[in-house]
Structure 1
Amino acid sequence: MWFAGVAWSPEGYDVTVVDQAGAPVAVSRFAATGIDEPVGFLRSLAERSEVVTVIDSTNGVLDGSLMAAGLDVYRADPWDTPVSPASGPVPSDTLARLGIDALARLTRLDIGSGTLGGRDDEADADIRRSEPLARRLTAQGGLLFHGSRALPRVALTFDDGPHPVYTPRVLDVLRRYRVPATFFCVGLHVQAFPDLVRRIVDEGHLVGNHTWSHPYLPDLTRQEVSRQIGRTGEALDRAGGGTPVLVRPPYGGRSPEVLTWLAEEGLTTVLWDVEPCDWAMGGAAAIAGQVLDKADFGSVILLHDGGGDRSQTVEALPGILESMMARGCRFVTVDRLAPLRV
């Protein structure tokens, strides 16, 4: 058995693979030109030996694709690592050796539970603590869950891209139906595929900030949250998307501290009221059915164009659009759904 640690960096991804004795098997660095290279590298190693892959809680960009490739993926949380995530990514060699020394206390991920699996109670407690501040920010236009229920407008949003396969397929469907959407982009993917950001903007869609490496923000300090947002904003601006003032925290993860920091950065936090959990790969019919069951006038619908295999989301999209239009709904970008502080 081999143990692989995968760490993000501002430049891309670092991968360290060791055997059960801790001896090096492979060390590689991959530029931020997409996730196919590190995933393919680990998959090729898995043809020679069983590979256990370890990421940390600040790295939510690769796990879905790694699991789709058939690899076992474990998450190390801040209390598992000798390096605080507030100082940056945990080094790949540290993560690989955690696989040897501490695998039993790490969290094994699966597509059904998602990257944050096992921390649901903690995340829910952080959200409950945030509720009084969230209400105040909503009233001030600094936070959005949904728009007016009296107006037949709906916002379709996509997270975790751009992705070289699924983002163009989503854009093709939206163009066919003449529907605008809002894309919350991950900085590492923006750096890899700037042309897709330009296509998103050129075709009349809105882009928002979804952090650099898709971390659980309550794990981070204010300085690291600012770096996550700042790097992504700079990458989006270089790609032609401007510097967005709309931000979506990964997993919707928030605490009073995080919401305060984002507001003080002049950002408007965009959440959602309809989530069909398309990342769980329950099938196109189930994805469409959940959206249509839950959506109402003013809804913000959360779907994904990145972060894993999104073929089912693409397949579900025409049915969602046709059914919502038949109800008299008009699709708009989130900045036109409600008065926002933008």
Structure 2
Amino acid sequence: MWYAGVGWEKSAYELAVLDHTGAHIVPPLRLETVGVGDVVARLLRLAEREPLMCVIDGTNGVVDGYLTAAGLDVYRADGDVAPLRRAFGSPDADILAELGRAHRSRLTRIALDSGTLTGLDQRIEEDLESAALVEAEQVASGRCLVHGRRVHPRVALTFDDGPDPDHTPRLLDVLRHYQVPATFFCLGLHAAAHPRLVARIAEEGHSVANHTWSHPYLPDLTRQEVLAQVDRTAEMLAGITGKVPTLFRPPFGGRNADVLGWLAQHGQTTVLWDVEAADWALPGASAIAQRVISDTDFGSVVLLHDGGGDRSQTIEALPRILETLMVSGCGFVPVEDLIDVAEQKGRVASSWTSA
């Protein structure tokens, strides 16, 4: 068995791979502004030689989707075993690899159907409960969006975790064919690796929004760390598109009262959703399409993914979703078109859905 630590710092991924004695199999690598696909390819080549255990921490919350989809075993280091993070990065990759070698039983194995947050259900529930009152206040003031007003047949399609060099272009092709605008919540690490894709998203009339730099679970971070994730990503996206994004989606929807307060004070509008197909769990194109179609109502914000793993099922489902909702009289708008303080206070129910 070999043990791989997968970390990040600033715009680089880091890899360290140890054998059972703690010796390096290859020299530690720092991969500057490369796509996560390159990281996965390197690990897969090593896994051909020896079974491989990959270790991440909770700030590297998107790479696990690619690793598990590729068939690699991934573990998360957190709680009392989690090492200190760097100023703008994860723990050192060497330290993560050593945790796998010496403390495997104290790590959490990540499951494909629950992702980075495997085993954290109670913690997530507690954080969401703490956020409820602040969230309601922010919805009323227009600082948080769950869905728009339920009286107009307008829907916002949103895509998280890109840009991805394989899947984002194919999704853009589908959206262009149907002349449908969408909102893409981009990760800074991915934007740094694929700036031309971010530019294409904007050039084709879609909204480019902020989804943090490395996809961490925000309640685990300090205020300084949360705002650094927001600002570094905003700077990267603005450098590509010429516009500073103020729409922000927390990874996993992870939030508590503190996080929502920090974001609002920092000029961000938090965008959540009311329709989720769980496409990241790869339930099949038919299941993805059916859930979106059946759950969508006037003003819905639909959460789908263009990055974070294999998104071929989402791409396959998208034409059926668009065609069915269009036949039902649905119009598609960028998510910012659903934000209206007066409308958020109303939340008038409607029976519009399409089976």
TM-score category, normalised to shorter length: over 0.9
In the TM superposition, residue 115 of structure 1 has moved relative to its aligned partner by 1.3
Stretches of structure 1 lacking an aligned partner (at least 5 in a row): none
Provide the C-alpha distance between the structure 1 equivalents of 2:3 and 2:160, rounded to a whole number of angstroms: 30
Q: For residues 160 and 333 of structure 2, what CA distance do their matches in structure 1 show?
A: 16
CA change 1:220–1:86 in 2 (3 A) is: farther
Determine the C-alpha separation between the residues in 2 that align with 1:191 and 1:142: 28
Distance 1:87 1:10 in 2: 6
Alignment-derived partner of residue 289 in structure 1: 290
What is the match of residue 25 of structure 2?
Answer: 25
Q: 1:86 touches 1:219 (CA, 8 Å); kept in 2?
A: no
Q: Distance in 1 between matches of 2:136 and 2:18?
A: 49
Secondary structure, aligned partner of 1:312: helix
Shift of 1:254: 0.0
- Say whether the 8 Å CA contact 2:7–2:89 is kept in structure 1: no
The residue identity in structure 1 corresponding to 2:74 is V
Amino acid at match of 1:280: A
- 1:303 aligns to 2:304 (yes or no): yes
How many residues are treated as equivalent by the alignment?
Answer: 341
**Alpha-carbon distance in 2 for matches of 1:21, 1:241:** 50
Q: Deviations over 1:96-115 (max 9, x none)?
A: 01101211121111211111
- Report the TM-score, using the length of structure 1 for normalisation: 0.97
1:168 aligned partner: 169
Asked if 1:3 corresponds to 2:3, the answer is yes
In the TM superposition, what whole-angstrom CA distance separates every residue of 1:58-101 from its partner, at most 9, and x where no partner exists? 00121111112211000111432131477741110110011012
Letter in 2 for 1:273: D
SS of equivalent residue, structure 2 residue 15: strand
Between the aligned partners of 1:194 and 1:145, the Cα distance in structure 2 is: 29
Q: Tell me the SS of whatever aligns to 2:156.
A: strand
Q: Does 1:36 align with 2:37?
A: yes
**How far apart are the structure 2 equivalents of 1:34 and 1:78?**
29
Counterpart of 1:9, as a letter, is E
Distance 1:328 1:234 in 2: 38
3-state DSSP of counterpart to 2:117? coil
User: Which runs of 4 or more aligned residues in structure 1 lie more than 3 Å from their structure 2 counterparts after TM superposition?
Assistant: 84-88
Q: How many Å separate the matches in 2 of 1:7 and 1:78?
A: 17
CA distance in 2, matches of 1:303, 1:224: 26
Structure 1: distance between partners of 2:85 and 2:11: 20
Aligned ranges for residues 204-223 of structure 1 at < 5 Å? 204-223=205-224
**1:124 CA drift (Å):** 1.4
In structure 2, what is the Cα distance between the partners aligned to 1:227 and 1:55?
20
- Tell me the distance in 2 between the aligned counterparts of 1:146 and 1:278: 19
Q: Is the 8 A contact 1:3 1:97 kept in 2?
A: yes
- How many angstroms apart in 2 are the aligned matches of 1:217 and 1:162? 21
1:240 is aligned with what amino acid?
A: T
- Mind listing any 5+ residue stretches in structure 2 that lack a counterpart? 343-355
